[in-house]
Amino acid sequence: MRSIRNISTAIVLVVAVAGCSAGAQDASRQDASIGEAALNAGNPDVALRLADDTLVHSPNDAGALTRRGTALTALGRLDEARENLRRAVSLEPHNIDARLALGRVQLPVDPRAAEASFQEVIRHDGQNAAALNDLGIARDLQGRHTEAEGAYRAAISAAPEMTAARVNLALCLAILGQGQEAIGLLRPLAEQPGATRKVKEDYAAVLAMTGDRPKAEQILSANMSSSELAPAVDVLASLRTSGESVTR
């Protein structure tokens, strides 16, 4: 049986081939639409190919540069991604997609610059939940957990259904020593049917930081060997006092 990814790749390629006879402008628009679909389907290689096709004819197409940068990020080619996204932002300073993508690829190497990118998005769209959540991560990575908490709460206020912001807020609160509120936020997500492995592991991190080592070990033991378990929980338990961030 084919995987969903393979099927989605096939669909994207079929649509791309079907559009080959279109005019240059129509083809560019179609490439943009298909490129977005490819990124959403988890096929950055297809999105990269389509962005390259557009940039051959329109080298200053900020949308194509943004899609190219996003695809390169997914492929792990981060330096190239940053270069493309910086260029996209220089061409269209108010392009929210470009600024968000640039901020995200800056996070691992320069969280201060990432914070500036997210703040620029929020300056134009104060209710952008994705930017607010990412702003919290940037602040967490700089050790500014109280300010990060505020950004996560603003993200949840803008988008109450945003699971990522709730998870990040819970982890931030646990680091700040507010364990019971953190547990209250994450337990319903971690114990619901179909909860993802990531959410369960984040819940385990909160439990470890709040001192419930047995429960944390019980959750983590589902996907971790006994030799890995104790050191992992030791690290998680230390995060509350060390001030390190585990937000993702």
- Residue 245 clears pLDDT 60, i.e. is over it: no
Query: Is residue 192 very low, low, confident or very high in pLDDT (cuts 50, 70, 90)?
Result: very high
Chain segment 8-25, per-residue pLDDT in tens:
443 334 444 444 444 545
Residues 6+ away with beta carbon under 8 Å from 201: 219, 220, 223
Averaged confidence pLDDT in the chain: 86
Residues in the chain: 248
| pLDDT, tens digit, 9 for 90 and up, residues 88-124 | 999 999 999 999 999 999 999 999 999 999 999 999 9
pLDDT digits over 150-184, tens only?
999 999 999 999 999 999 999 999 999 999 999 99
Work out the number of other CB atoms within 10 angstroms of the CB of residue 132.
27
Domain 1-106: which topology? 1.25.40
Mean pLDDT, range 179-203, rounded to an integer: 94
Residue 134 vs residue 236, higher pLDDT: 134
Render pLDDT for 219-244 as a digit per residue (tens, 0 to 9). 999 888 888 888 888 898 888 755 55
Domain 111-248 in this protein, CATH class:
mainly alpha
Which of helix, strand or coil describes residue 57? helix
All CATH 1.25.40.10 domain ranges in the chain, comma separated: 1-106, 111-248
Q: How would residue 26 be classed by pLDDT, with cut points 50, 70 and 90?
A: low
CB-based contacts of 100, cutoff 8 Å, min separation 6: 117, 118, 121, 130, 131, 134
**Cα R_g (the chain), whole angstroms:** 21
